[in-house]
Structure 1
Amino acid sequence: MEAVVVNTAGKETGKKVRLNDQIFGIEPNDHAIYLDVKQYLANQRQGTHKSKERAEIARTTKKLKRQKGTGGARAGSMKSPLFVGGGRVFGPRPRDYSFKLNKKLKRLACLSALTYKAKGKSVTILENFNFDKPKTKQYADILKNLQLENKKALVVLPQHDHNIYLSARNLQSNKVVTAGELNTYDVLNAQHLVLVEGSVPALETRFLS
Structure 2
Amino acid sequence: MEVSVLNINGQDTGKKVTLNDSVFGIEPNEHVLWLSVKAYLAAQRQGTAKSKERSEHAGSTRKLIRQKGGGGARRGDINSPVLVGGGRVFGPKPRDYQQKINKKTNVLARKSALSQAAKNGEIIVVEDFALDAPKTKDFVNIVKNLKVEGQKALVVLPEANKNVYLSARNLPKADVIEARNINTYKVLNADKLVMTESALKAIEELLTK
What range describes the TM-score normalised by the shorter chain of this pair? Answer: over 0.9
**CA offsets, 1:140-175, max 9 Å, x none?**
111011222211110011222222122112212111
State how far apart, in whole Å, the 2-side matches of 1:196 and 1:138 are.
17
User: What secondary structure, in the 3-state scheme, does the structure 1 residue paired with 2:56 have?
Assistant: coil
Q: Does 1:88 align with 2:88?
A: yes
Identity %: 56
1:29 alignment partner in structure 2: 29
Q: Which amino acid aligns with 1:12?
A: D
Normalization by structure 2: what TM-score?
0.94
Q: Does 1:16 align with 2:53?
A: no
State how far apart, in whole Å, the 2-side matches of 1:131 and 1:62 are.
70
How far apart are residue 55 of structure 1 and its match? Answer: 0.6
Normalization by structure 1: what TM-score?
0.94
* Count of residues paired in the alignment: 209
1:108 alignment partner in structure 2: 108
Q: Which amino acid aligns with 2:59?
A: R
2:50 alignment partner in structure 1: 50
1:7 alignment partner in structure 2: 7
State how far apart, in whole Å, the 2-side matches of 1:71 and 1:146 are.
80
1:176 alignment partner in structure 2: 176
Gaps of 5+ in 1: none
Question: Structure 1 residues 70-79 or 113-122, which shifts more?
Answer: 70-79
1:136 alignment partner in structure 2: 136
Q: Which amino acid aligns with 1:13?
A: T
2:124 alignment partner in structure 1: 124
How far apart are residue 59 of structure 1 and its match? Answer: 1.8
2:148 alignment partner in structure 1: 148
How far apart are residue 22 of structure 1 and its match? Answer: 0.7
State how far apart, in whole Å, the 2-side matches of 1:200 and 1:25 are.
14
How far apart are residue 16 of structure 1 and its match? Answer: 1.1
Q: Which amino acid aligns with 2:111?
A: L
1:73 alignment partner in structure 2: 73
How far apart are residue 82 of structure 1 and its match? Answer: 0.5
How far apart are residue 57 of structure 1 and its match? Answer: 0.3
2:202 alignment partner in structure 1: 202
Q: Which amino acid aligns with 2:24?
A: F
Gaps of 5+ in 2: none
Q: Which amino acid aligns with 1:80?
A: S
State how far apart, in whole Å, the 1-side matches of 2:108 and 2:8 are.
31
RMSD after superposition: 1.4
